[in-house]
Amino acid sequence: MLGNFTYCNPTKLYFGENSLENLSGELKNYGKNILFVYGGGSVKKSGLYDEIIKILKENGKNVTELPGVMPNPTAEKLREGAKLAKETEADLILAVGGGSVCDYSKAVSVSAHCGDDPWEKFYVRYEEPTDKIIPVGVVLTMVGTGSEMNGGAVITNHELKIKAGHVFDERVFPKFAILNPRLTFTLPKEQMVAGFFDILNHITEQYFSGTDDNTSDYIMEGLMKSLIHSSYKALKNPEDYEARSNIMWTATWALNTFVAKGKTEDWMVHMIGHAVGAFTNATHGMALSAVAIPYYRFVMPFGLSKFKRFAINVWGVDSEGKSDKEIASEGLLAMETWMTEMGLPLSLREIGATEDMIEGIANATFLLDGGYKKLTKEEVIEILKNAF
């Protein structure tokens, strides 16, 4: 039975090859001071940087650049950005990049006028913003996180070896997001497939919970099947526009808060993956990939009927003459085979983790209770050992 819920998503999306043409119209809704946030050199190499600057100048904007946002944005970088946004009296933060740039920009948006240390307020005490929030707009260049249409903002504190996320309410959602699948064509294969797994795991984190019959699970099964189908096409030809556009749209729907409504949610692969990322600085999707199969094999007995359904409805496992456990296990094996074919890591060793990190990673893992079993620290250690 669907639980009670309220659904609101204020982000306006522009999707397609010509979607950047809509940026000028959106800029007219904001003041003159723009904080232009981006990551490394790829935005400049692709020519997108020059296009954005041209549009900003044509609209008479004062542009302050904030480059160098790293794949796992840090608390130090957050404080730097918040200071710059406040000093320049930013009227809009324009995030141009992937999920890390989007997450970072949202964190800056609530931190610029915050009267407290943003790490302490939002990532230790998990308080909601009480001061002025700077609006955020997005031009997306990498898919996976769904950050273009939600309130999530993940920040890493290397000093404390903690990677933490805060899911802000709709006040912090991007006001608009521009999604052109062609902007994702130049991504290296490793980043592309890391995004594929991030998308799949966002869906499974919400799917593997509850025992009721609800619409959200049927939608998620369709999203997963679409992703799997398109991922093979994109792997064969990264410039397959149909495949890349379907993947981009699936990524947005995987985490724009829609399919989570009326459900409990798990998110333990992300909690363990975040802790792994804090110790290794591994790409987010790769950290998730390294721990997902050991985690799901561990919790499968506690949610056997859903894992059986996953095997049949998503992976097409033949159920005839097999026990529920055998069917469910075949589903996870099919998922593991897909991961191997995508070139995703299946062990912590592959992403630079060492066995002496296990205790620290377990200590840094936030334990949630929305899935089929609330883990103990000892069980997290067992899962991590299996992930090696």
Distance of CA 248 to the CA centre of its chain: 12
pLDDT tens-digit readout, 240-280? 999 999 999 999 999 999 999 988 999 999 999 999 998 99
Query: In terms of domains, do 44 and 174 share one?
Result: yes
Two tokens, residue 101: 């740039």
Give the DSSP letter string of 302-336. GGHHHHHHHHHHTT----TT--HHHHHHHHHHHHH
Q: Among residues 183, 211, 229, which one ends one of the domains?
A: 183
**Which is nearest to 80 in space by CA: 119, 102, 108?**
108
Average pLDDT score over the chain: 95
Q: Answer yes or no: is 76 within a domain.
A: yes
User: Phi, psi (5° rounding) for residue 233?
Assistant: -65, -40
pLDDT band at 1 (very low <50, low <70, confident <90, very high): low
DSSP letter for 258, please.
S
Query: In terms of domains, do 238 and 374 share one?
Result: yes
Q: Answer yes or no: is 39 within a domain.
A: yes
Query: In terms of domains, do 310 and 328 share one?
Result: yes
Percent of the chain with pLDDT over 70: 99
User: Distance of CA 292 to CAs 172, 204, 232, 273, 367, Å?
Assistant: 29, 10, 20, 8, 15
Q: Among residues 183, 215, 248, which one ends one of the domains?
A: 183
Query: In terms of domains, do 229 and 154 share one?
Result: no
Kindly tell me the burial class for residue 364, based on how many C-beta atoms sit within 10 Å of its own C-beta (0-12, 13-18, 19 or more): buried
Query: In terms of domains, do 209 and 172 share one?
Result: no
| CATH code of the domain in which 174 resides | 3.40.50.1970
Q: Which H helix or E strand runs over 64?
A: strand 62-66
Q: Answer yes or no: is 68 within a domain.
A: yes
- Whether 21 shows a pLDDT value over 90: the answer reads yes
**Residues in contact with 175: Cβ distance below 8 Å, sequence separation at least 6, in sequence order:** 10, 11, 12, 26, 29, 135, 136, 137
| CATH code of the domain in which 206 resides | 1.20.1090.10
For the chain, what's the residue count?
388
Q: Which runs of consecutive H residues, i.e. helices, occur in the chain?
A: 23-27, 42-45, 48-58, 75-87, 99-111, 118, 189-207, 215-236, 241-254, 268-280, 284-299, 304-313, 324-342, 358-363, 377-386
User: What whole-number distance in Å separates Cα of residue 287 and Cα of residue 272?
Assistant: 9
pLDDT tens-digit readout, 336-361? 999 999 999 999 999 999 999 999 99
Q: Answer yes or no: is 3 within a domain.
A: no
Query: In terms of domains, do 204 and 136 share one?
Result: no
Query: In terms of domains, do 213 and 166 share one?
Result: no
For 305, the domain range is 189-386
Q: Answer yes or no: is 6 within a domain.
A: no
- Whether 142 shows a pLDDT value over 80: the answer reads yes
Two tokens, residue 120: 């302490």
Q: In a 3-state reduction of DSSP, which class is residue 154?
A: strand
pTM: 0.94
Q: Answer yes or no: is 138 within a domain.
A: yes
Query: In terms of domains, do 238 and 365 share one?
Result: yes
Whether residue 7 contacts residue 261, with contact meaning beta carbons closer than 8 Å, is answered with yes
Q: Answer yes or no: is 1 within a domain.
A: no
Q: Among residues 133, 157, 183, which one ends one of the domains?
A: 183
Question: What is the reported pLDDT for 331?
Answer: 98
User: What whole-number distance in Å separates Cα of residue 360 and Cα of residue 148?
Assistant: 32
Q: In a 3-state reduction of DSSP, which class is residue 283?
A: coil
Query: In terms of domains, do 217 and 275 share one?
Result: yes
Domains in the chain, number = 2
- 309: number of CA atoms within 13 Å, CB side? 18
pLDDT tens-digit readout, 177-202? 999 999 999 889 999 999 999 999 99
Query: In terms of domains, do 217 and 168 share one?
Result: no
Query: In terms of domains, do 379 and 291 share one?
Result: yes
Q: Answer yes or no: is 5 within a domain.
A: no
Query: In terms of domains, do 221 and 161 share one?
Result: no
